[in-house]
Amino acid sequence: MKKILLINPPESGIGGRTSPPLGLLYLAAMFPEKDYALEIYDGVILGWEKLLQKINDYKPAIVGITCFTPSRAQVIKLVKIIKERDKSIYIVVGGIHPTIMGEQLLANCPAIDFLVCGEGEYTFKNLCNTLLSGQLDNLPNIDGIAYRHDKNIIFNKKRLPTKNLDLIPFPRWDLINIDDYSKILFPVKKIKINTSGGKIFYVIFSRGCVGQCSFCSVWSFWGGYYHRRPENMMAELQYLYNTYNARNIIFGDDCFTADKEAIAKLCDLIIKNNLKIIFKCSTRTDLLDEELIAKLKKAGCYEIAFGVESGDASILKSLDKKNTLDNTAKTFALLKKYGILSTAMMIIGNIGENYKTINNTIRFLKKIKPDVVASDRGLQILPGTKSYYYCKNKGYMTDDFWLSDKPYKLFDFEFSPNLLEVFEFAVKKQIYLTPWEYFNYIYIFSLRFILRKWRGLMIKIGS
């Protein structure tokens, strides 16, 4: 039986942490064990050396690799190594980066044979069946793939998303060791709930998002928002609870409570079935009300993360957040009332940022008092976003950037990296910036920047 190997590339985790490769687990679920030989290899956990040994020993006919924009350099490195070792292996790359930048990827990386663009489950299965059967004449009939033919790059018809997510089988958790992830996921903090012996599992209730924020590529990939039936989600939770002792759940949805009625029903099912779990999720502050927050708490929700981004109304407007600071303040107050932890995810250094907007952000954070402030220094520019098209139209960057090995571009075109450090420092320390302090900190951080460069140069000379 010919073999399929699904790979999460090495060095694609963030800050030493990673989560289970849920997309690959969903892909694997499309291939019944009795009919296919398939394994998953997570390079983030096991590294390059073991991965290359695995490829040599397993001898797959098809390798499928997931590719996010920040890890595209690792993917390109990996596919080149695989092709150098065995040219007969079909290499298929899927995910958000090949979906948005597919033509550039195929034009510049001949080691890639096929791209899966958009939702992957049915597309990848159809492609594998075609390749394994040798019926290559069927390639033009597979929606959602891209490939080369006679030196031309071919994009087949787009595959429409599966709106009925209940049709997609539950992820194949049996193909990975969940303990590998429980050790490195973010720990549960500040809650008096005993989770000893329980394992952490990622699940998703929905795909896509109802928002279209200017910096986010989710809409470009999914093209909308759709979710499972609460009963189907409950069945998966029950399965994980009984089979794997799952007690700590992380909902990986981009916008968990977009359909408040559906989430309320899911909470009712968790409560009715006496499922003793705790969970965290992410959503928008304008998609919660007190009744739903009370149900979430009763069902086991201990933390909710929100993309607050900024405490300045003009910045929120430029980000197309389509939300208000009042909504956010009310929601954070309700979370405190019901004892649910809050995380405010912030972007420090947005388009149009200055010391006044930073002061407004500091003032707002002091008002809402989140339990956790998770901040990014600088706006991350990613392909397929309005922010990227803004930068292209301004002449700040071109598509050639995505051929570099840098994970993403920080928006530092209208202010220096030193200024981004000042902004981040002020927000973290919650220090208001007066005009005098503003220029004083720029001077201090500029000196630090020069010293770092000088030390780096001395180290190079010394070696």
Q: Are 78 and 195 members of one domain? A: no
- When divided into structural domains, the chain yields a total of 2
Same structural domain for residues 105 and 211? no
> At CA 375, angle to CA 374 and CA 378, rounded to 5?
160
Which range marks the domain in which residue 109 is found?
Answer: 3-155
147 and 231 within one domain: no
Cα–Cα dist 351/319, whole Å: 8
Please give the pLDDT value at position 338: 97
* CB environment 323-346: b (16+ within 10 A), e (fewer): bebeebebbbebbeeeebbbbbbb
Q: What is the pLDDT along the chain (463 residues), one digit of tens a residue?
A: 899 999 999 987 665 567 899 999 999 999 999 899 999 999 998 899 999 999 999 999 999 999 999 999 999 999 999 999 999 999 999 999 999 999 999 999 999 999 999 999 999 999 999 999 999 999 999 999 999 999 899 999 999 999 999 999 999 999 999 888 865 554 455 555 554 555 789 999 999 999 999 999 998 899 899 999 999 999 999 999 999 989 999 999 999 999 999 999 999 999 999 999 999 999 999 999 999 999 999 999 999 999 999 999 999 999 999 999 999 999 999 999 999 999 999 999 999 999 899 999 999 999 999 999 998 778 999 999 999 999 999 999 999 999 999 998 889 888 777 788 888 888 988 888 877 565 666 556 565 655 555 565 555 555 5
Query: Residue 156 and residue 147: Cα distance in Å, rounded?
Result: 9
147 and 194 housed in the same domain? no
Are 231 and 349 found together in one domain?
yes
Q: How far apart are CA 222 and CA 414, in angstroms?
A: 31
Same domain, 150 and 191: no
- Is the pTM for the entire model greater than 0.85? yes
Q: What is the pLDDT at residue 278?
A: 93
Q: Does residue 370 belong to any structural domain of this protein?
A: yes
In terms of domains, do 151 and 244 share one? no
Q: What is the pLDDT of residue 198?
A: 58
Asked whether residue 356 falls in the same domain as residue 254, the answer is yes
Alpha helices in 386-434 (DSSP H): 386-394, 417-429
427 inside domain? no
Q: CA-to-CA distance for 462 and 203, rounded, in angstroms?
A: 50
Predicted pLDDT of residue 414: 80
Alpha-carbon distance of 366 to 91, in angstroms, equals 50
pLDDT at 410: 87
Q: Is residue 441 part of a domain?
A: no
The pLDDT of residue 399: 96
How many Cα atoms are found within 13 Å in the side-chain-facing hemisphere of 117?
Answer: 24
Kindly state whether residues 317 and 263 are assigned to the same domain: yes
**In a shared domain, residues 94 and 195:** no
Which CATH number do you get for residue 12? Answer: 3.40.50.280
In a domain, 209, yes or no: yes
Q: Is residue 181 part of a domain?
A: no
Residue-level pLDDT at 171: 97
Query: What is the distance between the alpha carbons of residues 380 and 358, in angstroms, rounded to a whole number?
Result: 17
164 part of a folded domain: no
Contact 307, 345 (CB under 8 A): yes
Q: Please report whether residue 170 resides in a domain.
A: no
Residues 125 and 228 in one domain: no
Both 252 and 205 in one domain: the answer is yes
Which of the 8 DSSP states describes residue 70?
G
